[in-house]
Amino acid sequence: MVTSWLTWCADSGWACPELPRTVKRRREKRAETRAVDWHTIDRLCSRRDVPLRDKCLFRMLYETSSRASAVLQLNVEDLDLRNRSATIRQKGGHQIQVAWGDGTAAILGRLVAGRTSGPVFLTDLPAGPQRAAAAKSRDIDETGRTRLSYGRARALIERYTGGEITLHQLRHSSLTHLAEAGVGTTTLMAKSGHANLRSLQRYARPSFAAVQAATELLADPPTRKRRT
């Protein structure tokens, strides 16, 4: 968050201090249980104090099972609103098509209404003097606002949840919930963009509640013949 603010100050032509080179980026907390309950995510995305832009971002991260860095790079012209899909650039440079559901579709159209190009997720502040560089990198739209950064998005979700939910946890939770619902591994890999099963398994970890539900099946397996 501090880095994003200092960058904006520099772009605006203001004199500002520089961070020491020894300062390292804070890493997100790694919780042992990565999945967040669906109702908790839904409540976050339904809160009145959460702006439309942020609700849409959180919904899209969950429903697409995508990395925040990739979703934040989406431009309006990349969206296929009718088919609820878009092509995003994954880690490593390869592209995949992602899809979202009713929750995102209900508000995404409102977020980009009247815009034909530029970043989907914009900052609240206009760009500084370096508008040409931002325009060249497609990080600015016709209103003069620039693309929302990962650091700023991370700070926002921390503010709304008190640090209980991270951007990355939305992706983890999505894959876990799909795995619990019985979605096959091949489909999960296609949806998340994982290249191998080992990397997927770190994300799609069923909760203990799902383990308990599965255990109940042992009490009366469907293949067991009832005696009359």
> What CATH number is attached to the domain comprising 7?
1.10.443.10
Number of structural domains (the chain) is 1
Q: Is residue 130 part of a domain?
A: yes
In a domain, 187, yes or no: no
The answer to whether residue 208 sits within a structural domain is no
Return mean pLDDT, the chain: 81
Report how far residue 156's alpha carbon sits from residue 41's, in angstroms, rounded to the nearest whole number.
15
The pLDDT score that the predictor gives to residue 31 is: 43
Is residue 228 situated within a structural domain?
no
Residue 10 — very low, low, confident or very high, per pLDDT cuts 50/70/90? low
Domain range enclosing 77: 2-15+50-166
Q: pLDDT tens digit string along 136-154?
A: 556 787 777 889 999 999 9
191 falls within a domain: no
pLDDT digits (tens, 9 = 90+) for 21-74: 565 655 555 445 478 999 999 999 999 999 999 999 999 999 999 999 999 999
Residue 162 placed within a domain: yes
Residue 34 lies in a domain: no
Rounded CA gap, 188 and 75, in Å?
25
